Amino acid sequence: MSVHASLPPVLKAFDLTGRRALITGGSRGLGLEMARALGQAGAQLLIAGSQQLSVDEALSTLHAEGIEAEGLQADLSQPAQAEALGAAVLAQGRPVDILINNVGGRRINTPTEELSLEQWQAILDLNLTQAFVLTRTLGAAMLARRWGRIINISSIHAQWPGRSMRGRSYETAKAALSMFTKAVAADWAPQGVTVNAIEPGPFLTDANRRWIAQKPGFEEQVAAEIPMGRWGRPQEIGPLALYLASEAGAFMTGSCLRLDGGRLLW
Ligand SMILES: NC(=O)c1ccc[n+]([C@@H]2O[C@H](COP(=O)([O-])OP(=O)(O)OC[C@H]3O[C@@H](n4cnc5c(N)ncnc54)[C@H](OP(=O)(O)O)[C@@H]3O)[C@@H](O)[C@H]2O)c1
């Protein structure tokens, strides 16, 4: 019997017992926090990262918290590895009910006038192409079962170029990811598969700590531009991902939800 059996009906709608979730980039940052939230709600987890070491560390952490999780290694900046990951997950023969396409990032701060074609393509592959590949592969299996949840981790930069950073392939890729979310949601809504996006504002993850270390005053400057006056805490994305992944979010599809402490209000 589920440990959640005694919950009131509204909380039971968040119960993921019996569901299996793949979270790409689930070994650190926002991905790990979303994995933790789904795992606490009873989901069996598959987390994928580019480095076996960080995947293993995340698995140890999750197992110590009593969460069921397996790991996979793949460099999802390479579309061929995204194809191989999707095929490997299907070959396991156990359904993936929930897919969180979380891998992404900016990685470069190069002005457009200096950006090479290779740099442009690399950021599109990292933020967009692999999400398409996994959505196609694992989404097709969800359609056959007539139940599925896909959550794409986009960015407030899907809607807004920002001022302090360059490397506009990131904004472009995230905008395309948000539109891909809406278009696929429309196609798959009649077949029981929801597709939504979360558009985070600035969160204090490893990726941003690297920028903070390189740019004196950046941490304070960004906080001052957010109406709430602070960066997001990675664990603050977990409950929203759980809502979208569960029966609680059954009527929501094609939505791109901003989670930014009010950043785009100013
Ligand atoms: N943090 C923010 O403020 C913010 C704001 C808006 C949007 N986002 C978006 O949120 C997502 C997560 O960001 P984050 O800040 O949590 O990132 P992060 O701290 O850098 O974590 C990245 C995760 O992705 C994995 N990963 C990175 N490159 C990979 C690759 N090529 N192949 C497979 N796995 C890879 C990492 O695993 P390994 O350690 O094994 O590489 C790690 O688990 C991204 O899509 C980002 O664009 C973040």
Summarised one tens digit per residue, pLDDT across range 158-168 is 999 988 778 89
Phi-psi region of 146 (alpha: psi -120 to 50; beta: other; left: phi over 0): left
CB 21 within 8 A of CB 46: yes
Compute the average pLDDT of residues 147-166.
93
**Amino acid occupying residue 80:** A
User: Span 30-42, mean pLDDT?
Assistant: 98
Average pLDDT of the segment spanning 127-152? 98
30 Cβ below 6 A of ligand 1: yes
Across residues 2-9, what is the average pLDDT?
74
Rounded distance, CA 221 to CA 225, Å?
7
pLDDT of residue 57: 98
Structure pTM? 0.97
| CA angle in degrees (0–180, nearest 5) for 84-133-138 | 80
For residues 45 and 242, what is the distance between their CA atoms, to the nearest angstrom?
A: 13
Euclidean distance between CA atoms 20 and 9, whole angstroms: 21
Give the residue extent of every domain in the chain: 9-259
Which two structure tokens, joined as six digits, stand for 201?
């504002």
CA distance 101 to 131: 6
**Any atom of ligand 1 within 6 Å of the Cβ of 47:** no
Residue 3's pLDDT band, with cuts at 50, 70 and 90, is: low
Nearest to 255 by CA among 147, 151, 143: 151
Residues in the chain, total: 266
Nearest to 169 by CA among 184, 158, 183: 158
Mean pLDDT of the chain: 96
Q: What is the mean pLDDT of residues 249-258?
A: 98
Q: Which of 88, 54, 47, 48 is nearest to 68 (CA)?
A: 47
The alpha carbon of 32 is separated from its chain's Cα centroid by a whole number of angstroms, namely 10
Share of residues in the chain with pLDDT > 90 (%): 92
Q: What is the pLDDT of residues 189-244, one digit of tens each?
A: 999 999 999 999 999 999 899 989 999 999 999 999 999 999 999 999 999 999 99
Banded model confidence at residue 157, pLDDT cuts 50, 70, 90: very high
Strand 193-200 to 69-73 pairing: unpaired
The arithmetic mean of pLDDT across residues 126-151, rounded, is: 98
Q: How many CA atoms lie within 13 A of 97 on its CB side?
A: 16
Rounded mean pLDDT, 54-80? 98
Residue 4: pLDDT over 70: no
Is residue 156 within 8 A of residue 199, CB to CB? The reply is: yes
Centroid of ligand 1 to alpha carbon of 6 (angstroms): 36
- Ligand 1 neighbour 112 (Cβ under 6 A): no
Taking CA atoms, 239 is separated from 99, 161, 192, 222, 259, in Å, by 16, 27, 22, 24, 11
CATH architecture of 9-259: 3-Layer(aba) Sandwich (3.40)
In this prediction, residues 67-92 reach a mean pLDDT of 98
128 Cα–ligand 1 center, Å: 13
CA 153 to ligand 1 centroid distance, Å? 10
pLDDT in the model for residue 1: 45
